[in-house]
Amino acid sequence: MIHAYLKAVLGLVVLPAMSLAGAWAANSCIDCHSDPNYFVQDRKLHDYYQDWIKSPHKEAGLTCDFCHSGDPAAAGKEAAHNTILKVTDPESRLFFKNLPETCGSCHPDKLAQFKLSKHFKALMEDRTAPSCTTCHSAMRPRPDYRDIVKQSCHTCHFDDNPQALPLVADRADEFLHRLNIGKVYLAWVTMYYEEQSWPGETREEVGAITSKYNDAVARVHRFDLATMDESSAEILAELEGMFKTAWDERPTRD
Ligand code: HEC
Ligand code: HEC
Ligand code: HEC
Ligand code: HEC
Ligand code: HEC
C-alpha cells in the first residue's frame, strides 16, 4: 500500500538544490579527479569522484580541499597533494577524533546532539565507535544507506555478545527506513499545501509534524534508541495519513 503512494510522491517531489556551481572554476583537484580516464585507470578514484559530484556538498560548492586539504591552485599532482594529510594523522580534519567537528562546522545542531551520545564519548577515549560518516558515508552524504548502517552497527553490537546490545542494528534499520519514507511524505505535503496557500489549519499541522520529525532526527544523532521505535512509527503513520488526505483532495489539473 505504502509503496503505491510512495511511488506517486517520488515522482512529484523535486527537492530544491542550492547551487554555487562554478565556485571552483580554477580548482585542480576537480579538474584532475574528474578525468574520465580514471574509469579505466583507477576505478576506485573514479568512484570517489562520482560520489562527490552527485552529493549535496557539490551543489553547495564544498570542494575536496575543504576536507582533505591540499593546494587546489597547484596544477601538478605532487604539488596539489603536498599538504594532504593521512587520515591517521591527528592533524587531519578527517582524523576520527576531528571528523565530527569538521562535519559539525556546517551542521552544528547534529554535532551538538552527537556529542551527547556514548559513541562520541567512546571516540574521544580512543575507542572505536561510529561517527558521522558511518551513516552518511564520506563522499556522498545521504542518510539512507540502511544496509551499510545496519552492517556497521553489527560490527560492534553483535549477536554472540548480549552485553553489546545486539538488537540495536535491526532497530536502527527499522527506524531509519521509517524516517527515510517519512521525509519524502513531509517534503511532498509541505510543497503541496504551500502551493494551495495553506488552507484551514494545514500550516499549523505541517509545522507540528515537522517539529516532531526534526526532534526524531535529533534523537537519532544522540542515539536515543529507547524512544525511536515508537516515535518513528507514529511520525510515519501521521505523515502517511496527511499525504493520503492531500492526495485525495488535490484539484485535478488538465
Ligand atoms: C594532476 C592530477 C591530480 C590533482 C591535481 C589532484 N589529484 Fe588527488 N589524486 C590523483 C591520483 C592519480 C590519485 C591516486 C593516487 C596517486 O596516484 O597518488 C589521487 C589520490 C587522491 C586522494 C587519495 C589519497 C591519496 O593520497 O592517495 C585524495 C584524498 C586526493 N587525491 C585528493 C586531492 C585533492 C584534495 C586535490 C586538490 C588539492 C587533488 N587530489 C589534486 C590525481 C590528482
Ligand atoms: C565533506 C568532506 C569531504 C569532501 C568535500 C570530499 N571528501 Fe573525499 N573523503 C572524505 C572522507 C571523510 C573520506 C574517508 C576517509 C577515510 O578513509 O577515513 C574521504 C575519502 C576520499 C578518498 C579515498 C581515500 C583513500 O585513502 O582511499 C578519495 C580518493 C577522496 N576522498 C577524494 C576526494 C575528492 C577528489 C574530492 C572532491 C571532488 C573529495 N574527496 C571531497 C571527505 C570528503
Ligand atoms: C563547509 C560546510 C559543510 C561541511 C564541512 C559539511 N557539510 Fe554537509 N552539507 C553542507 C550543505 C551546504 C548541505 C546542503 C544543504 C543542507 O542540506 O543543509 C549539506 C548537506 C548534508 C547532508 C544532507 C544530505 C541530504 O541528502 O539531505 C548530510 C547528511 C551532510 N551534509 C553530512 C555531512 C557530513 C557527514 C560531513 C562531514 C564528512 C559534512 N556534511 C560536512 C555543508 C557542509
Ligand atoms: C546512526 C546514524 C547517524 C549518524 C551516526 C549521524 N547521522 Fe546524520 N542523519 C541520520 C538520519 C537517520 C537522518 C535523517 C534522515 C534524513 O534526513 O533523510 C540524518 C540527517 C542528517 C542531516 C540532514 C539534515 C536534516 O536536518 O534533515 C545532516 C546534515 C546530518 N544528518 C549530519 C550529521 C553529522 C554532522 C553527523 C556527525 C556529527 C551525523 N549526521 C551522524 C543518521 C545519522
Ligand atoms: C565501532 C564500534 C561501534 C559501532 C560500529 C556502533 N557502536 Fe553503538 N556503541 C559502541 C560503544 C563503544 C558504545 C558505548 C558503550 C558504553 O560506553 O557503555 C555503544 C553504545 C551504543 C548504544 C547505547 C547508548 C546509550 O546511551 O546507552 C546504542 C543505542 C548504540 N550504541 C547504537 C548503535 C547503532 C544504532 C549503531 C549503528 C549505526 C552503532 N551503535 C554502531 C560502539 C559501536
Q: What is the 3-state secondary structure (H, E, C) of 84-110?
A: CCCCCCCCCCCCCCCHHHHHHCCCHHH
Q: Which residues contact 246 (CB under 8 A, 6 or more apart)?
A: 188, 189, 192, 193
Amino acid 11: pLDDT = 42
Nearest-ligand number for the alpha carbon of 177 = 4
Mean pLDDT by 10 residues, the chain (254 residues): 44 36 70 93 92 89 92 94 93 94 93 94 90 84 69 80 75 89 96 95 97 92 85 95 94 69
Nearest-ligand number for the alpha carbon of 118 = 5
Question: At residue 196, what are phi and psi to the nearest 5 degrees?
Answer: -85, 10
The C-alpha atoms of residue 7 and residue 44 are separated, in whole angstroms, by 32
Return the residue whose CA atom lies nearest to atom 39 of ligand 5: 153
Amino acid 152: pLDDT = 79
Q: DSSP letter string over 182-215?
A: HHHHHHHHHHHHHHTT--TTHHHHHHHHHHHHHH
Amino acid 172: pLDDT = 86
Q: Alpha-carbon torsion 246, 252, 183, 18, what sign?
A: negative
Amino acid 72: pLDDT = 94
Residues with CB under 6 A from ligand 3: 18, 56-57, 60, 62, 66, 102-103, 105-107, 132-133, 136, 138, 141-143
Amino acid 8: pLDDT = 47
Amino acid 147: pLDDT = 74
Return the residue whose CA atom lies nearest to atom 18 of ligand 3: 107
Extract the C-alpha cell encoding 186: 513531509
The C-alpha atoms of residue 242 and residue 244 are separated, in whole angstroms, by 6
Amino acid 7: pLDDT = 47
Nearest to 176 by CA among 229, 140, 212: 229
Residue 252's alpha-carbon distances to 175, 184, 248, in angstroms, are 34, 21, 10
Return the residue whose CA atom lies nearest to atom 1 of ligand 1: 77
Amino acid 227: pLDDT = 83
The finding on whether 103 has its CB within 6 A of some atom of ligand 1 is no
Residues with CB under 6 A from ligand 2: 29-30, 33, 45, 48-49, 52, 57, 62-64, 66-68, 87, 94, 133, 138-139
Amino acid 224: pLDDT = 85
Amino acid 24: pLDDT = 52
**pTM of the predicted model, to two decimals?**
0.87
The finding on whether 240 has its CB within 6 A of some atom of ligand 1 is no
The C-alpha atoms of residue 62 and residue 23 are separated, in whole angstroms, by 9
